[in-house]
Amino acid sequence: MRTFEYERPSTLDSVSAALASDRDVRVLAGGMTLIPSMKMRLATPDTIVDLGGIPELVGVTADDEVVAIGAMTTHARVAGSEEVRRSIPALAELAGAIGDPQVRNRGTIGGSVANNDPASDYPAALLALNATVHTNRRSVPAASFFTGMFETALDVGEIVTRVSFPVPLSAAYEKFRSPASRYALVGVFVAVTREGVRVAVTGAAPCVFRATTIESTLAERFGPDALENFRFPREGLNDDMHGDAAYRAHLVTVLARKAVGRIVASSGSR
């Protein structure tokens, strides 16, 4: 087995120093992607820098306008957070449906966001909720953060430290899971904000994206019936062994309708 150095710093300054070296350094958050990649020899770093020893990267804070989540906060902790469940219940529900218990108790929001797997759940929430990704150097709007398949705006030596979510008026997330991986074959996050309706789609394309045609339709009349005869375009969607582009386009509409229906139902029950 190939050897590597292991570091567990206790401060962000120590992390920055380690990442500034000339070595092949990889950051370890939850390890949900890095560890399997190393097992398959797809990643052979000289040094692993474990972020698990930095207390400031863990936890949830919230007020009436924003929920901020530390990058090393696990999916399970997001799902169980009273602050998240009270302010953005759709985000807590999303986190509680990621993978399985082992993944939810090891995987972190920062690791998921930085990895930007095209089928991961959090990017849809970030984009629909107009979140901001904070790093050890700057703050990046979600709209500018996700740039392509497994690609983000992060520079060399830059790590995610927390994500802040504006509290929406209401929101819902629906996904169709792959039965094998439990990743989203398609996932749709619908958020009603003070600026209007925002809809983000994950799993359907190489990178998370805003479904602006659905947003425009819902802006005219917000309700599941508004999408009854809507056909989402298949152009640019994934076409693979798990589902062709036409199937994914159909799922986008079906899941958007379900999410909107849940928002309408929850509004009526208040």
Task: Classify domain 5-53 by CATH architecture.
Answer: 2-Layer Sandwich (3.30)
Q: Domain 55-166: which CATH class?
A: alpha beta
Structure confidence by residue, pLDDT tens digits, 39-77: 888 888 899 999 999 999 999 999 999 999 999 999 999
Structure confidence by residue, pLDDT tens digits, 219-242: 999 999 999 999 999 999 999 988
Query: Token pair of 125, please?
Result: 């929430």
Check residue 82 and give its pLDDT: 98
Sign of the Cα torsion 146, 123, 183, 53 reads positive
- What residue spans define the domains of the chain? 5-53, 55-166, 170-268
Residues 78, 244: Cα–Cα separation, whole Å: 33
One CATH from 3.30.1160.10, 3.30.390.50, 3.30.1360.30, 3.40.50.300 for 170-268: 3.30.390.50
Confidence of residue 178 (pLDDT cuts 50, 70, 90): confident
Structure confidence by residue, pLDDT tens digits, 125-155: 999 999 999 999 999 999 999 999 999 999 9
Residues 113, 78: Cα–Cα separation, whole Å: 14
Residues 90, 79: Cα–Cα separation, whole Å: 10
* pTM exceeding 0.85: yes
